[in-house]
Structure 1
Amino acid sequence: MAKTLIGEHVPNDPEAELALVGALLIDGYCITEVMPIIKPDDFFTDNYRLIFMACLTMQRRGEAINQVTLAQELERNGQLARIGGSSQLASAINACPTSLDALHYANIIARLATSRRLIQAGEDITRIGHSANPDSLAALNSAKKLLDGIEAGGGGKYIISASELSDMMMDFAINPHSFSPSLYWGWDDLDSITTGLFPDELIIMGARPGIGKSQIAHELIIRQIKNGKQVLLVTLEMGKRDIMERIVSTQVGIPVRKMRQQLMTDREKDSIVDLAGKFAGWGLSTITDNISVSTLTSTAELLQREKGLDLIVIDYLQLMSDCHDKHCGNTKEERVGFVSKSLKQLSQTLHVPILAIVSLNRGSEYRDNKRPTMADIRDSGQIESDANCILLCHRDDAYFTEAQWAEEYPDKMYPKGILEIYQAKNRHVESGQCIKLRWNPAYSKYTNINEDIDERQAQFNGM
């Protein structure tokens, strides 16, 4: 950001940045002292920013930070050559004979970063003024947001004062609509029980394979990008063709089987062409590689700076590379916990909701009542703790044929295509509710359903 500023001199101190890196290499524990003061974007020099980000990643994993381990981390991420090789790390140590002044260097970096942001905000406000917006109130609000978005450098930037909360209360009383969720699911009953998807929240959706959890996530994504939102999808099970087929099927109503057998009519082909023209302008970015949380973080931060970012969807959590990396924990549960906690931190850093799909173990399949519980989430301990909301999906027709259902429940209609979503946890509203959606094969999507759900909710609650 800072390098785009207009002017003869951009406030920065490369010597302080180099010295801080050297202090971290001398004593890796210093990072806990400087973390409350600076963040990666406070660095003006790209190389030092990359080094600091690598140190943060290692600190989250509980690893020692020194010249050898940091070089290994940068090499693993393909960034060692980019920062100048191991010799650059050695130079940083030579530039800082002691780690005792790490806090001093961090304060210098944070203060200059604030100065750069003030300069940038001033230039942006100047442009707002030159635009001569006929709506002067809107122009003033835009300028105010630019200034409000600047974090003061130095210690205490993460402290929230009572006066800030008081101002928030006043704003809420005057304009409660400004505190609405950033996104809605789009199904009335689901929005009713969850109240929507809010920034800073990690939402978990779990089910056994083939139940419909990925379909729900896919429909949520399409709904958001059609409404002008920017979404990042990390799908570790589907390739580009799979994604394309699902989008076409949902939006045009052509079954995937029909597409794969190339049985589309000319009218259907024309509809695909029309969809392609519209889709090119929608805000979907997709990752299909088996990436780490650190790579996801840097990618998401880049997207947010360049395009904006409203939602991250991960399908699914246990397939991320950190879940199989022994550097992230000795056991599978510890590694999954590392990913879960990191995703929670990412949602708070970017101020966007993150929807993470998770797989369930086979526990429910051996019970008479097949409905899942939170205990069925694979390696679930940390996930249950980190999640703001946990939704569990179930379909009876995945376990009963129509004949088996008629024999077991002769007085009940076969629930063909009925998806039950149970809110097992929600930090902010009442949990324990169950809603239903109906699969509409003609349009390859789920639709709202209106029926008595008390009995199904009781079955979930009785687990």
Structure 2
Amino acid sequence: MAEIVRIAGAAETPAEPQSLPRNIEAEAALLGALMIDNRLVEDVQLKLRSEHFFEPLHGRIYDSILRMTDKNMVANPVTLKPMFEADEAIKEVGGASYLAQLTGSGAAVIGARDFAQQIYDLALLRALVGVGRDMVEGALDTSEDVAPLEQIERAEVELYRVAEQGGTEGKAKSFGEATKLAVEMAEKALNSGGHLSGITTGLDSLNGKIGGMHKSDLIIVAGRPGMGKSALGTNIAFSAARRFVRDVEDGIDPAKSVGAPTAIFSLEMSADQLATRILAEESGISSENLRMGKISQQEFRGLARAAAELQSLPLYIDDTPGLTIAALRARARRLKRQKGIGFIVIDYLQLLQGSGKGSSADNRVQEISEISRGLKQLAKELDVPVMALSQLSRAVEQREDKRPQLSDLRESGSIEQDADMVWFIYRGDYYLASKQPADDHPDFAAWQEEMQRIYGQAEVIIAKQRHGATGKVRMKFDSRITKFSDLADEGYLPEQR
């Protein structure tokens, strides 16, 4: 084996001041073991890839073994020989006879899995060295077009990619494992007292319809401007964070809480604007009066109490404008790692940027598709529900019935395709207010009566739900403090057809 290592390592660069982490002997031993017993391939191929081998020739031999076994053919030095007769690298180490030399130690079969793990671990270390080297080179480059923050975000993405490779390999769950997860979810719903198997929205009528927001779900909340998308997203984010604190205070295991530490990526409003909204909701003082200081001393004391209660809330706001989908995912990963977030709200989807630089309508559709796919991948990757607020097209305004439909989702059908749930917000009083006739008009009394009937009411239309039925949930909306709440003695309506 020592001879094999010497030959295989002949291509190494002796001039390197510090050699990269590698174990050529382990690579040779593993390849020999795989050729001796092809059944070992099943144990290593899920995790180990050809690029994990330091010696490129070893990577090509490994790929050839995988191709042969995938075709149910025997992979040994004899069957592999024709594939390497023209390989220049193998000629340098004695030709195709090198394949036979690799099988020289039958004892390697016993430690094959350990060899594979070590090769994999060393490949991760080399990847880490590569990221560090790129970071140093990028930081030393002082040319004018260098953006330090972009370099930091890029480095975070690369580091997380290395960390992801270090996780457990993807594998199929047995039916028993899947059943256990399903029973745990049902137990969580039973113990919550509110039939919640996911994270609470803070609204009983909405929870009753959807059973809470489930891990790895992408939830799209869409509406025309003025409908209250940001208000609903903020209300739900606040409720999830507050419920988490209460559950922990009550001695409930954080893993069994129906709340969650929450991150809001606000691309439209600043952090202080969002904080003002939440304070208005909690204190009952209108946002406008808060901003203008039109409050009494008593109201101010109530405001100070509400602010003190909210200081320890696990609610994190990132108001960086113009985020790319890659930067958002990098920041979300960091928050997951550092703060343990379990729920993400994005306000709003169309303000995110993709990786492309085109500006045509076709490119914009592709960009939105990339963003919606990226958000769904983020939900699955971090195993948290992701709620993305979205604008609707103006087609809504052209119809007599202003209730949104799935076809109104702006710029891309992929939003509907990628989403696990699509909610629309509709407020009839918003549209009715614009049709107010003059006080002396014959229709004024009828208009006033209708406005009194529907004023302050909103509908959340569940237009798509993978987990259950669609339908409408009626609720109250207080525009003064931008707060959604349950209507007294109101449930939800069945599916409308």
Q: SS where residue 339 of structure 1 aligns?
A: helix
> Deviations along 1:89-146, whole A, 9 cap, x unmatched?
xxxxxxxxxxxxxxxxx9xx96xx47xxxxxxxxxxxxxxxxxxxxxxxxxxxxxxxx
- Displacement, 1:395? 0.9
2:186/2:197 contact within 8 Å kept: no
CA contact (8 A) 1:21 1:51 kept: no
Query: Could you tell me which residue of structure 1 aligns to residue 328 of structure 2?
Result: 296
Alignment correspondent of 1:164: 177
More displaced stretch, 303-312 vs 265-274: 265-274
Q: Could you tell me how far 1:351 is from its partner in structure 2? A: 0.7
Which of the residues 192, 195, 205 maps onto 1:189? 205
* Distance (Å, rounded) in 2 between the aligned partners of 1:277 and 1:166: 44
1:22, distance to aligned residue in structure 2 (A): 9.4
2:267 corresponds to: 236
> Residue 151 of structure 2 corresponds to which residue in structure 1?
78
Aligned positions of 1:321-400 closer than 5 A: 321-322=353-354, 325-326=357-358, 331-400=363-432
* Alpha-carbon distance between aligned partners in 1 of 2:153 and 2:389, rounded to the nearest angstrom: 33
Is the alpha carbon distance of 1:311 and 1:167 closer, same or farther for their aligned partners in structure 2, counting shifts above 3 Å?
A: closer
1:204 maps to 2:196: no
Q: State the one-letter code of the partner of 1:426.
A: Q
Task: Identify the range of structure 1 (163-172 vs 291-300) with the bigger mean alpha-carbon deviation.
Answer: 163-172
Residue 248 (structure 1) aligned with residue 261 (structure 2): no
Specify the code of the residue in structure 1 equivalent to 2:151. Answer: G
- The corresponding residue for 2:455 is 416
Give the aligned CA root-mean-square deviation in angstroms.
4.4
Q: Is the Cα contact below 8 Å between 1:212 and 1:419 reproduced in 2?
A: no
Q: Deviations over 1:416-451 (max 9, x none)?
A: 1111111100011011x1111112367542221157
Note the alpha carbon deviations across 1:345-374, whole angstroms, 9 max, x for none.
110111100011000011111111111101
Give the TM-score of the pair, scaled to structure 2. 0.60
User: Given the superposition, is the C-alpha separation of residues 50 and 204 from structure 1 closer, same or farther in structure 2, using an over 3 Å criterion?
Assistant: farther
Is the aligned partner of 1:268 residue 2:307? no
CA distance in 1, matches of 2:120, 2:149: 22
Task: State the Cα deviation string for residues 278-335 of structure 1 (Å, max 9, x = none).
Answer: 2221111111122112212221112112221110000100110228743999521111
Counting aligned pairs with the same residue, the percent is 22
CA distance in 1, matches of 2:155, 2:373: 29
TM-score, normalization: structure 1?
0.65
SS of residue paired to 1:321: coil
Give, as a single letter, the amino acid of the residue that structure 2 aligns with 1:246. Answer: R
Mark the CA change 1:210 to 1:74 in structure 2 (over 3 Å): closer, same or farther: same
Paired residues, number? 352
Question: What is the 5 A alignment of 1:141-156?
Answer: 151=168
Q: Decide whether the 8 Å contact of 1:329 with 1:338 is kept in 2.
A: no
Q: Report the CA distance between 1:206 and its aligned residue.
A: 0.5
How many angstroms apart in 2 are the aligned matches of 1:418 and 1:165?
41
More deviation in 177-186 or 401-410?
A: 401-410
Aligned partners of 1:329 and 1:21: how far apart in 2? 44
Task: Choose from 202, 216, 227 the match for 2:232.
Answer: 216
Counterparts in 2 of 1:224 and 1:398: CA distance versus 1, 3 Å:
same
The answer to whether the 8 A contact 2:202-2:240 is kept is no
State the distance in 2 between where 1:240 and 1:80 align: 21
Q: 1:391: Cα distance to partner?
A: 0.5
Instruction: State whether residues 239 and 288 of structure 1, in contact with CA within 8 Å, keep that contact through their aligned partners in structure 2.
Output: yes
Which of 477, 488, 493 pairs up with 1:439? 477
Unaligned segments of structure 1, at least 5 residues: 1-12, 53-71, 84-105, 115-150
